[in-house]
């Protein structure tokens, strides 16, 4: 980092410069700086929802593009996500208080036999950032847990994640159980995880396979829009 950057005083930047700096800080995974910038924008009377969408989500969108293009890798994305999480920690209570728009509700979890949650956590965070309410079931979820949660939470979307070739077929168990109970069409089912692909998503009867968190958000928005159009 150059001396000039070391000397950067965030509070002296105008709004536009500060938001651009937040994109850089997110990209570089600088959590402290993100928290400081969020506080500055709040002091300047920015709405929490605007800070979330115009600074944090937009910054993460750039991170997502560079991840997809092979410019950034998982460690850098995790650091960026950590920085965004820091900003969201400040904003979340304010968003609830201010009644920010909710696009829908998602229940998400890693499937039975699988303890990998990095991708799932990224999706959960980005979905929250995009305005979805997210109920995170964590790891190693049997079908009963998924079904109980989507019913209890009156979810719109079920998200399932798996990292292992050996556990990804369990997604079909969940979807087949939903079919057997006659509730499959009541929910949008999105699946993701490193060994999955579109073909697999179709074969097991999911609505869509999402290759990364950004795609998950866009797909969820798209399906929710279609759902509303049907009503």
Kindly state whether residue 197 participates in binding other proteins, applying the rule CB under 8 A: yes
First and final C-alpha spacing in the chain: 53
- The residue (of 41 and 191) whose beta carbon lies closer to other proteins is 191
- 141 forms bridges with which residues in the sheet? 111
Smallest distance from the beta carbon of 199 to other proteins, in angstroms?
9
- The helix or strand, by DSSP H or E, that contains position 123, with its residue range, turns out to be helix 118-129
- The helix or strand, by DSSP H or E, that contains position 108, with its residue range, turns out to be strand 104-110
Within 72-101, the residues that bind other proteins by CB under 8 A are 73-76, 78-79
- The residue (of 40 and 191) whose beta carbon lies closer to other proteins is 191
- The helix or strand, by DSSP H or E, that contains position 90, with its residue range, turns out to be helix 74-98
Burial of residue 220 (CB within 10 Å: 0-12, 13-18, 19+) is buried
Considering only residues 194, 212, 218, 221, which one is a binding residue for other proteins as defined by CB under 8 A? 194
Instruction: Determine the interface stretch with other proteins among 18-26, 48-56, 67-75, 94-102 (rule: CB under 8 A).
Output: 67-75
Number of C-beta neighbours around residue 65 at 10 A: 13
| Cα–Cα distance for residue pair 29/33, rounded to 1 Å | 9
Among residues 116, 118, 120, 130, the alpha carbon closest in space to that of 88 is found at 130
What 3-state class would DSSP assign to 142? coil
Smallest distance from the beta carbon of 43 to other proteins, in angstroms?
29
- The residue (of 102 and 197) whose beta carbon lies closer to other proteins is 197
How many residues bind other proteins, per CB under 8 A?
Answer: 23
Smallest distance from the beta carbon of 92 to other proteins, in angstroms?
20
Within 116-145, the residues that bind other proteins by CB under 8 A are 116-118, 139-140
| Cα–Cα distance for residue pair 13/58, rounded to 1 Å | 19
Instruction: Determine the interface stretch with other proteins among 3-11, 50-58, 109-117, 182-190 (rule: CB under 8 A).
Output: 109-117
The answer to whether residues 138 and 167 touch, using CB atoms and an 8 Å cutoff, is no
Site string for other proteins, 141-180 (x = CB under 8 A): -----------------------xxx-x------------
Smallest distance from the beta carbon of 130 to other proteins, in angstroms?
22
- Contact residues for other proteins, defined by CB under 8 A: 73-76, 78-79, 113-118, 139-140, 164-166, 168, 194-197, 200
């Amino acid at each position: 980092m150059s001396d000039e950057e070391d000397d950067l005083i965030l509070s002296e930047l105008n709004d536009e410069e500060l938001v651009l700096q937040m994109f850089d800080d997110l990209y570089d995974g600088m959590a402290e700086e993100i928290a400081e910038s969020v506080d500055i924008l709040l002091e300047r009377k920015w709405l929490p929802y605007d800070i979330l969408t115009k600074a944090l989500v937009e910054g993460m969108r750039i991170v997502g593009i560079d991840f997809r293009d092979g410019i950034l890798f998982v460690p850098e994305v995790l650091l960026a996500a950590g920085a965004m999480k820091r900003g969201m920690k400040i904003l979340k209570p304010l968003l609830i208080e201010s009644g920010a728009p909710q696009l829908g509700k998602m229940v998400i979890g890693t499937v039975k036999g699988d303890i990998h949650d990095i991708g799932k956590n990224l999706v959960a965070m980005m979905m929250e950032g995009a305005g979805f309410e997210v109920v995170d079931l964590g790891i190693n979820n049997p079908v009963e847990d998924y079904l109980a949660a989507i019913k209890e939470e009156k979810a719109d979307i079920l998200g399932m994640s798996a990292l292992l070739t050996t556990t990804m077929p369990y997604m079909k168990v969940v979807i087949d159980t939903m079919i057997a109970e006659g509730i499959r069409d009541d929910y949008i089912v999105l699946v993701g995880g490193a060994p999955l692909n579109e073909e697999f998503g179709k074969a097991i009867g999911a609505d869509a396979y999402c290759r990364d968190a950004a795609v998950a958000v866009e797909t969820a928005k798209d399906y929710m829009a279609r759902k509303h159009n049907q009503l």
